[in-house]
Structure 1
Amino acid sequence: MISLNPEEDKSKIKAPTTYSEQIEIYRKRKLDIDNPDLAENTLKRINYYRLSAYALTLKDPISKDDFIEGTSFDRLLSLYEFDRKLRLLLLGALETIEIAFRTHISYEVAHKFGPLGYKDKENFINEKFHRESLEELDKLIQKSRKGELFVEHHFRKYSGELPIWAAIEVTSFGFLSKFYRNLNEDVKKFIAKHYYKVPYFYLESWLQTLSNVRNVCAHYARLYNKRLTFPPKLFKEEQKLFDRGYIFAGIYITLRLLSKNEGQRFHIDLEALISEYEQDIDFVHIGFPSNWNDLLSQAQPRK
């Protein structure tokens, strides 16, 4: 709850620290800093608070405030850089998945229900959710009028009626995930089986997981040592192979949704990234089992 007394709030909030004072805080907590100039320059471009989130796994479990003996600022920075590069790698793969899924869902809805079939509540499971989705979509369309020529074209020529293949282009990954979940079950089944070779309830789960991962990546949030908000459903034979609560599970299903060639490129790039930082990262904090590479090699992306 936010206090209504500003003076009371001021008494509880820590005073701001300078860059050099932040260095001293790290040193007092037994973090080895061989190059204070490099450390200070780093803190001038990466918020101390943001960087310290990566320090949580490097703290002494007894003292909790102090770092484990021998921990260096360089290793702390490596964890940050690894996480940053992992986010960028995932963003590229998730963009490919999102665009493909937009294509598949708009094509099937258009051919089964017509260009404006997405407006008909009879083609969806939950009427209330469908109505709310249309309201959200209308806001997205209106917001896109100034920047998207194809949207303005449909307003001028077709009185603002956008066919599904046009409307789908202004939506987010999260919207697509919710739209698919509420879609007519027969169409959901067809899309999941025809394009992704999985039962639709797995695809529902995976899209929810990946839309959230995409938001984490797009907003520069942390993947390292962080549990997934929506762990994906896994096949029975996969459930004991790894913890579905960490980013490895997200990576695994990413491979399942990419085409074979796309999946191979993603896997190669991931191997290179892991190789670059494997001396500094702790695989436990990203949910990678010891046989992670074999598991990813065996993951069957769609053809």
Structure 2
Amino acid sequence: MDPEKDYSNVKPPKTYKEQVELYKNRNLYIENSEYAEKILQRINYYRLSAYGLTLKDPINKNQYISSSSFNKMLSLYEFDRRLRLLLLGVLETIEIAFRTHISYEIAHKFGPLGYKDKENFINEKFHKESLDELEILIKKSRKGELFIEHHYKKYEGIIPIWAVIEVTSFGFLSKIYRNLNEDVKKHIAKVYYNIPYYYLESWLQSLSNVRNVCAHYGRVYNKKLTFKPRLFREESKQFDNQLIFAAIYIIQRLLTKTEGNRFITDLEALVLEYEDEIEFTQIGFPSNWMELLSKINSKNKI
């Protein structure tokens, strides 16, 4: 600690029992104090309390509304946790699909090492930064990825796009797609998703951030998206692009029919289980959310 600084304003830590009492003093109904203590031994008070923000009195922010309870707050936490896990699964599917699209199109249009040529990208500075980032990812992968070490031993470290793409992150894919030659971007967007490429640019940026939030146990309930996805005019009239439903909607747009059917089924089951606890406005779900998602899946999908 810095002896020059005054730490007197830092709050002292509270025991699990004191944390429960603090909830009680703030008008949160505790159904079972012993159970609440056990939960707080597993879930940090600070993390759990974030799910009580929508249960706070709008006038006195230090107090909970009379109908709020510890179990309701815990239910919101559990819903959010399970929603994140569900989203991670489909985001993995989308990430792998885009690794395939990007590597295939670069390889067939520019050659196995076309990703190294600045002429195949829009911004030379961003391209150089991407290559530098890729070099770091490759070096980190040598210890754990046999296919990377294989290319060092047999091909002197010359790695084709279809191999090197496998060490990239969702965020990297988003950036490389944004900087790709415009004709290639248009081709990927048209052939695989039948949409203008600038929507795909926006969606990948938004979903890569959602993926990071989910992977690092961040909150999506009652939380605005860092990057708001660009929506078609008709869609923007039906729901807010700042909340998680917007991400769910574009996820559904990027899944195949089979993947989309499975996603809708799992999402519906989760929502039905928690529908008495969650506030749909906090996640941006319109009243016809199932109809909207199902309608996407009935369109021209493979």
TM-score range, shorter chain: over 0.9
Give the partner amino acid of 1:98: E
Pick from 191, 206, 211 the counterpart of residue 209 of structure 1.
206
Q: Is residue 191 of structure 1 aligned with residue 196 of structure 2?
A: no
State percent identity of aligned pairs: 69
Q: Is residue 131 of structure 1 aligned with residue 133 of structure 2?
A: no
Tell me how far apart the structure 1 counterparts of residues 265 and 149 of structure 2 sit (CA, whole Å): 42
In structure 2, what is the equivalent of residue 64 of structure 1? 61
Q: Is residue 14 of structure 1 aligned with residue 11 of structure 2?
A: yes
- Kindly provide the CA deviation profile for residues 117-173 of structure 1, in whole angstroms up to 9, marking residues without a partner as x: 000000000000000000000000000000000000000011111100000000000
Tell me how far apart the structure 2 counterparts of residues 103 and 187 of structure 1 sit (CA, whole Å): 14
- Kindly provide the CA deviation profile for residues 37-56 of structure 1, in whole angstroms up to 9, marking residues without a partner as x: 11000000000000011111
Give the partner amino acid of 2:269: A
Give the partner amino acid of 1:114: G
Tell me how far apart the structure 2 counterparts of residues 261 and 62 of structure 1 sit (CA, whole Å): 47
Pick from 153, 159, 170 the counterpart of residue 167 of structure 2.
170
Give the partner amino acid of 1:275: L
Shift of 1:6: 5.3
- Per the normalisation by structure 2, the TM-score is 0.97
Q: Is residue 96 of structure 1 aligned with residue 97 of structure 2?
A: no
Tell me how far apart the structure 1 counterparts of residues 183 and 147 of structure 2 sit (CA, whole Å): 31
Tell me how far apart the structure 1 counterparts of residues 234 and 5 of structure 2 sit (CA, whole Å): 58
In structure 2, what is the equivalent of residue 290 of structure 1? 287
Aligned pairs for 1:1-303 within 5 A? 7-8=5-6, 10-300=7-297, 302-303=301-302
Shift of 1:7: 4.2
Tell me how far apart the structure 2 counterparts of residues 241 and 42 of structure 1 sit (CA, whole Å): 38
Shift of 1:299: 2.0
- Kindly provide the CA deviation profile for residues 259-301 of structure 1, in whole angstroms up to 9, marking residues without a partner as x: 0010010001000000000000000110111111111111247
- Kindly provide the CA deviation profile for residues 72-112 of structure 1, in whole angstroms up to 9, marking residues without a partner as x: 11000000000000000000000000001101110110000
Tell me how far apart the structure 2 counterparts of residues 6 and 34 of structure 1 sit (CA, whole Å): 45
Tell me how far apart the structure 2 counterparts of residues 121 and 206 of structure 1 sit (CA, whole Å): 24
Tell me how far apart the structure 1 counterparts of residues 253 and 4 of structure 2 sit (CA, whole Å): 52
Q: Which runs of 5+ in 1 are unaligned?
A: none
SS at match of 2:76: helix
SS at match of 1:12: coil
- Kindly provide the CA deviation profile for residues 163-192 of structure 1, in whole angstroms up to 9, marking residues without a partner as x: 000000000000000000000000000001
Residues 122 and 51 of structure 1, relative CA distance in 2, 3 Å threshold: same
The number of equivalent residue pairs is 300
Please, what is the CA RMSD of the aligned residues?
A: 1.1
Give the partner amino acid of 1:96: T
Tell me how far apart the structure 1 counterparts of residues 236 and 219 of structure 2 sit (CA, whole Å): 25
Tell me how far apart the structure 2 counterparts of residues 287 and 141 of structure 1 sit (CA, whole Å): 39
SS at match of 1:189: helix
Q: Which runs of 5+ in 2 are unaligned?
A: none
